[in-house]
Amino acid sequence: MTDPANDRLPPGISPAALWAALLALLLVPLYVCSLPPVLPPYRDAGEMASAAWTLGVAHQPGYPLYILSAKLFSLLPLGNPAWRLNLYSAAAGLAGVFVFWRLAAAAFSPSSAFFAALLLGFNFTLRTVSSVPEMYALNFLFAGAVLLAAARPGRGALYLAAFLLGLGMANRMDLLLAAPALLLLLWPGLKEGGLAAFLKAAGFFFLGFSLYLYLPLRSSGWPRFDWSHPADPATFLAVITRKSYGSTLDLISLNYARGELFLPGLKYYAAHLWQNFSAALLLSAAGLYAEWRRNPLRLAAFGALFLFSGPVFIYMANMPPNPHALAIVEPYYLLPDVAVAFWAAAGLYFLCGRYPGAVRPLVLAAALACGLVFRAGAHGSFRRWLFAAEDYASDVLRSVPPGSVVVAKKDVQLFSLWYLQEVKGLRPDVKVAAQGLSGASWYREEQRRYAPGLVLYNLGSGQPADWQAFAAANPGGVYATMDAEVPGEIPAAPSGMVNLLFPPKGAILPDRWKFFALPRLDTRYRDFFDRDIGVSYAQAMLAGAARRGAAGALEASDVESLRLASLLDPELPDAPLYEGFYYSARGDWAKAKSCFQASAAVYDRLLVLAEEYRSLPDLKRTLLSASAYALLNYGVAAEKTGDRAAAEKAYLAAAARNPGLADARYNLAILYWNRDWTRVREELAAALRINPGHAQARKYLEQLEREGRR
């Protein structure tokens, strides 16, 4: 690709330097200004920040490269600990973009590489992982580095690429998906060097991979975070191979047949490509053609990178297309994105060379594609005012008294509490128990050392006896966050952001509580994990109103809380349902009807989404049953307001969705009273078949028999 301005550059300034400087001018301020000011709500961010800060051992496979390098970066006197680690990810992501630019510039031209690198820099997924304290941005950097090393000429490239691959896999194992591409790029050197070169390259690989020895060495000292305690040799092997870790990917995908979700997964990756490349996909198509004509070996290498880290991974992951699963898979898209961006650079370079008169329109089109990509992810990538994770954890800790225990389950909620306690030093008087880890021997030993007085039982067993024994052993009071799975036999009393399960002696339950951080919660969520924090607040508001509703004590202030809960989580059908209960208790059936209708509408949306997300049958059955109850109440309100047609339709729908709902049949019988005695008799008999103990149905059926109505 020719650059007419090159001849007019000042002496000593190369075109490559100019394009690199322009790339830095555009991306560096953008990345730094978009960083969250504190710990962001994202998957394992709280855990990784806590493990890096305390130089511990993270979950499998331990991520020693990230832990050590992040710890070194965190020593810089810049802002708070979380912001330093966010900045580290930004630096890694930016470095990865510049490494990619160097790779594409060497293969094509600095200017064509600039636009492809800018596309990657604006990539929503890359900008997301480059703003959170996780290892994904560092993985992106190493993916570019090993490709750049492998593309260099000479025997040294072979050894450097092997070393970087081993070292990079000490950060994330999925870098192995790039190995086929590296093998193809390095094949000429391997073929020339023979077995000796291969063995030497293997030695360099294991030299980098040997960083995993950090795990048993550090674990032997029992650090504050010591996942699975890999000091034991047998455990160490299980850790680095993830055999001792039932990952989210594994647990979700086990519910589906192999390959069942491959096509939906490809569909969502295609949507990701369009969002993050836009019209530049046409350049990538041209680049594929150009590479096929000019460099088939390189085409095969980057094709292998795309195939194995894209479609093959999607097939193996076998994840349902729901927001949670897609948020888990999304960072893995970055490896195949590198191949697509490389082909975009190839396409722009090829087209400008073939059609020199169209250089300016082509450059304008590439710039427009970059602008569209930036616009598509602008809001989600800007996290400068994102305080949700720390605010949530702070509100949880404010909701419990000194000496109590808080049980949490979900990653973001639990790990945010870890960060506030272990990194920021807040509320050390409160003990936090991880429900999912409570049955693990290593976790119990870790807590014995660092949380003396906390006695753990297996809180994930689903057995009430384990919870009761846990409460007896921890008499300071047991609370649970809204995401914790508590057996139904355990009474739960909402108390702020948590449920009080076992009160300490003499505890007084507050009637109300203050949402300390609620004004900073932005309902324009940026991703699934950000939204999940809002859902936790919504569930807390709903739980408080539901408790008072069960006691027949709903007040006007509860209506405000329920409406706010619906604002925070529009997919929370029980919020308008309980608001309907408030109005029906006061005889305002018109407003109650509107609320019950809104609840039924939310359930209808959830049922559609359940099909779209390929949800499991149990979830669908639960939604159908719950939606039937909302329809039942809507039917009652419609009948009270004289809308008999709407009432009949609602009762019939409720009975169809939940054949075990006897009240739907009973209400139909009452609706047909004095209109169709045969239908009345049939519906009352149906209600009694479903529930032989239905006193009202039996009473009226016996009345019909006595009176002989036909």
Contact indicator for 546, 534 with CB cutoff of 8 Å: no
Which of 105-119, 409-423, 673-687 is the least confident region? 673-687
DSSP 545-584: HHHHHHTT---HHHHHHHHHHHHH-TT-THHHHHHHHHHH
387 Cβ contact list (under 8 Å, min separation 6): 36, 37, 38, 517, 520
The whole-angstrom separation of Cα 129 and Cα 123 is 10
Instruction: Quickly state the pLDDT bin for 613 (edges 50, 70, 90).
Output: very high
How many angstroms separate the CA atoms of 593 and 636, rounded?
8
- Give the three-state DSSP class for 516: coil
- What does the pLDDT average to over 204-216? 97
Does pLDDT of 509 surpass 60? no
Helices (H), 232-261: 233-240, 248-253
pLDDT digits over 452-488, tens only?
999 999 999 999 999 999 999 999 999 999 999 999 9
What percent of the chain is predicted at pLDDT more than 70? 95
Q: 10 pLDDT exceeds 80? A: no
Strand order from edge to edge, sheet including 498-502: 431-434, 405-408, 478-481, 498-502, 493-495
Cα angle 450-456-462, degrees, rounded to a multiple of 5: 145
Alpha-carbon gap, residue 215 to 56, rounded angstroms = 9
How many residues would you count in the chain?
A: 710
The tokens describing 327, both together, are 């948020």
pLDDT of residue 520: 85
C-alpha pair distances (Å), 473 with each of 200, 260, 406, 443: 57, 46, 14, 17
Residue 490 has pLDDT above 90, yes or no: yes
Find the mean pLDDT for residues 70-94: 96
Confidence band of 250 (pLDDT split at 50, 70, 90): low
Res 608 pLDDT > 90: yes
> Please, which pLDDT band fits residue 5 given cuts at 50, 70 and 90?
very low
Mean pLDDT confidence for 135-161: 94
| pLDDT at residue 229 in the model | 95
Residue 282 has pLDDT above 60, yes or no: yes
Structural contact between residues 165 and 182, judged by C-beta atoms closer than 8 angstroms: yes
pLDDT band at 707 (very low <50, low <70, confident <90, very high): confident
CA–CA distance, 132 with 70 (Å, rounded to integer):
12
Identify the pLDDT of residue 8: 52
**Pairwise CA distance, residues 324 & 332, whole Å:** 14
Q: For 83-131, how does the pLDDT look when each residue is reduced to its tens digit (9 = 90+)?
A: 999 999 999 999 999 999 999 999 999 999 999 999 999 999 999 999 9
In whole angstroms, give the CA distance from residue 595 to residue 343. 53
| pLDDT band at residue 548 using 50, 70 and 90 as cut-offs | confident
Helix intervals (H) in 423-527:
441-450, 464-473
Under 8 Å between Cβ of 62 and 20: no
Helix (H, G, I), strand (E, B) or coil at 473: helix
Return the pLDDT at 155.
79
Token pair for 227: 């996942």
Residue 7 has pLDDT above 80, yes or no: no
Angle, vertex CA 344, rays to CA 360 and CA 319, nearest 5: 145
CA 239, CA 556: separation in Å to the nearest integer? 53
Which tokens hold the place of 155?
């025997």
CB atoms within 10 A of CB 490: 15
Q: Is the pLDDT of residue 162 over 60?
A: yes
Minimal CA–CA distance to 138: which of 105, 174, 104?
Answer: 174
248 or 610, higher pLDDT: 610
Q: Where do we find the tokens 């000194």?
A: 402
Encode pLDDT of 165-194 as tens digits. 999 999 999 999 999 999 999 998 888 888
Q: What percent of the chain has pLDDT over 90?
A: 82
Give the span between the Cα atoms of 644 and 34, in whole angstroms: 55
**pLDDT(653) > 90:** yes
pLDDT at 105: 97
**Which pLDDT score, from 0 to 100, does residue 709 have?**
66
Radius of gyration (Cα) for the chain, nearest Å? 30
pLDDT surpassing 90 at residue 557: no
- Output the CA–CA distances (angstroms, integers) from residue 307 to 119, 143, 234, in the order listed: 20, 15, 34
Query: Residue 508 pLDDT more than 80?
Result: no
